[in-house]
Structure 1
Amino acid sequence: MTQNPFLISPRDLAAVLGRDGVSIVDASWYLPAQNRFAKAEYETGHVPGAVFFDQDAVVDPASSLPHTLPSPEVFAEKVGALGVSDTDTIVVYDGIGLFSAPRVWWMFRAFGAKDVRVLDGGFPAWQAAALPVETGAGAPSPATFTPHSDAEAAVLLPEMREIVAAGSLQVLDARPADRFAGEAPEPRPGVRAGHMPGARNMPFLELTENGRLKSAEALRKTFAEAGIDPDRPSVTSCGSGVTAAVVSLALETLGNRSSRLYDGSWTEWGSAEDTPVETGRGAKT
């Protein structure tokens, strides 16, 4: 079986703890309804040497949207202060298993880091393997992160309008089926229910199993059942750009190097007054 180059097992990570050039990043983030608090959980216990990446703070300060990708300079300043260099092997994880870590995996790669992995199974898998845990707030030594921004990584609203109007790219929405269909209200005030015309629903949880990314064979089957061709150039989207990256990780795992992420996601699209919105679960072909 070919090993996924974007994942690392808890045992393999444990073997390189403390090694120069290896940075470990706790990328935990939770929805309000989950009633969990990422920074407090980090301080209670984390992978030894891990630093905490606050997904609500490493953003564009001028944007009113949640999780908007910051400028290369802001990103470099924030992660450099965490002691992370662009030349490091960077391992990200979260407290659920596979939920928010792929967003930070995607961000590091969007700004030029070449070797970024997701801890397979996240912190729950680390704990299940009875590996050492560190407590406290951490005190990273600053490093230099030199950004090399990939202008194609993110799709912004003007281009997203063109993509939807032309149907030029496959649009994959990672939200739950009831939100995609407009059968359930959006959790953020003022955001309309439904989805972009022509989008396909690919709930991110269907790509995972027990907090881990499914095997390549299982991923292909899941995409096929959703009427999605994982080899086509695609744009991923979700509520605010976090779980869209789970779909991006799955596509890259299958060799799709033409995957992009709509950074504003449904919060931006559904908040605009003039963007077209459809409801219903859509057909699978």
Structure 2
Amino acid sequence: MSLHISSPLVSVDWLYNNLENENLIILDCTIPKVTDKSQNSTDKKQIKGALFFDLKNVFSDKKVPFPNTVLAPKEFQEKAQELGINKDSVLVCYDDLGTYSSPRVWWMFQLMGFKNIAILDGGFPEWKSKNYPIETPKTHQPKKGNFKVYYKPEKLKFTNDVLNSIENKAILIADARSKGRFYGTEPEPRNDLKSGHIPNSVSLPFIEMQQSGKMKSAEELKNIFKDYKNKEQIIFTCGSGITASILALGAAIAGVKNVAVYDGSWTEWGSTNNLPIAL
């Protein structure tokens, strides 16, 4: 029997109870910690049967100068098919940090017009806390899938779109970075980036969407977005498109529609000459 997901989140109990469903594909969307020299491949564990979704090296455009740039629709379709994803698959995304990089993958599939996907609430830490089955990662060679893209370009914004939205009071630009980075009181993690924020944007740190690695309740998230619900559109931005997707997830849980992610985010804005910057 085919599963259908109607919520952006599923619990670890739900996943455990559906672990043997033939249409289920679990995606480990963890971004590797390249700075952690103590971690090696033998330390890594995953949810039983999970496939690694390589966000950095396979599902990002390596031909452009900015990190985590989303693939063109045709290329995304081909890579998803190579991972064995089908039109009738049900996808559950998770990461090792709780809820950090998995929302980016969820949002990318939304952009590509695929809806039967959810994020595992609490991610791998929550799964482990229940002593649910884990394993050392295995090399999979899945049968090629028939996944098809139905691209939704309105969910993706570029620098000119954001620049043209600065003076439009009907559009909100919300920044997921910390308040320190937003106001330029703490340095950017990338050395070549200017400090500050996009003029007329608001600070909405992604950590305000979460509690103990899980997303806040729908009511709590509705309360966060209540002042912005009448906006014609909300554009989410961050450092490089990862945590902006957490804001997009929070908005979806709260029932806020007509949102988009600025793909280049501050990495592109803060390294491009002649763009206005506020502090």
State TM-score, norm by structure 1.
0.89
Counterparts of 2:46 and 2:39, CA distance in 1 = 11
Counterparts of 1:244 and 1:143, CA distance in 2 = 29
Aligned residue in 2 for 1:100: 101
- 2:50 aligned with 1:50: yes
Matched letter for residue 219 of structure 2: E
Residues 236 and 244, structure 2, Cα contact 8 Å, conserved in 1: yes
Counterparts of 1:131 and 1:161, CA distance in 2 = 47
| 1:59 Cα deviation from its structure 2 partner | 1.4
Count of matched residue positions in the alignment of Structure 1 and Structure 2: 272
Deviation string 1:40-70 (CA, Å, 9 cap, x unpaired) is 48x7211111111111121123211101111
- CA distance 1:36–1:109, change in 2 (3 Å): farther
Aligned residue in 2 for 1:84: 85
Q: Residue 90 of structure 1: SS of its match in structure 2?
A: strand
Q: Residue 170 of structure 1: SS of its match in structure 2?
A: strand
Aligned residue in 2 for 1:17: 19
| 1:231 Cα deviation from its structure 2 partner | 4.9
- Mean Cα deviation higher: 162-171 or 127-136: 162-171
RMSD of aligned residue pairs (Cα, Å): 2.1
- CA distance 1:36–1:163, change in 2 (3 Å): farther
- CA distance 1:177–1:32, change in 2 (3 Å): farther
Aligned residue in 2 for 1:282: none
Matched letter for residue 229 of structure 1: Y
| 1:167 Cα deviation from its structure 2 partner | 4.0
Of the candidates 216, 219, 230, which is equivalent to residue 217 of structure 1?
219
Residues 173 and 201, structure 1, Cα contact 8 Å, conserved in 2: yes
Aligned residue in 2 for 1:245: 245
| 1:85 Cα deviation from its structure 2 partner | 2.0
- CA distance 1:56–1:37, change in 2 (3 Å): farther
Residues 29 and 53, structure 2, Cα contact 8 Å, conserved in 1: yes
Matched letter for residue 267 of structure 2: T
Question: 1:65-84, aligned counterparts within 5 Å?
Answer: 65-84=66-85
Q: Residue 171 of structure 1: SS of its match in structure 2?
A: strand
Q: Residue 119 of structure 2: SS of its match in structure 1?
A: strand
Residues 167 and 200, structure 2, Cα contact 8 Å, conserved in 1: no
Deviation string 1:138-177 (CA, Å, 9 cap, x unpaired) is 3141312211111111001111110114344111100011
Question: 1:189-228, aligned counterparts within 5 Å?
Answer: 189-223=191-225, 228=227
- CA distance 1:30–1:12, change in 2 (3 Å): same
Q: Residue 134 of structure 2: SS of its match in structure 1?
A: coil
- CA distance 1:30–1:243, change in 2 (3 Å): farther
Structure 1 spans left out of the alignment, 5+ residues: 280-285
Aligned residue in 2 for 1:128: 129
Structure 2 spans left out of the alignment, 5+ residues: none
| 1:202 Cα deviation from its structure 2 partner | 0.7
- CA distance 1:244–1:159, change in 2 (3 Å): same
Q: Residue 178 of structure 1: SS of its match in structure 2?
A: helix
- CA distance 1:128–1:245, change in 2 (3 Å): same
Counterparts of 1:37 and 1:22, CA distance in 2 = 33
Of the candidates 166, 175, 182, which is equivalent to residue 180 of structure 1?
182
